[in-house]
Amino acid sequence: MKSADLGEVRRTLWAAADQLRANSPLTPVEYRGPVLGLIFLAYAEHRFEEVRPELEERRPADR
């Protein structure tokens, strides 16, 4: 993903978060679970991409 694309994704996510905070009948306690889940998934993806080359080196050739 290009950094310009990533910047656009970040702006879109922040705008969505602002809309959720300002215009949602949900309290922060009610939407923190899904938001924290998304943050964890983003972290897990980032971490996996860091170790992917090492994992690909260690995998058997027949896979």
Residue 40 lies in a domain: yes
pLDDT at 37: 87
Domain count, the chain: 1
Flag whether 46 is in a domain.
yes
Q: How many residues comprise the chain? A: 63
Q: Domain of residue 28: give its range.
A: 3-58
Stretch 39-50: mean pLDDT: 90
Residue 63 lies in a domain: no
Q: Helical H runs in the chain?
A: 3-23, 28-58
> CA 13, 18, 20, 21 torsion: positive or negative?
positive
The answer as to whether 54 is a domain residue is: yes
Inside any domain, residue 33: yes
Q: What is the pTM of this model?
A: 0.54
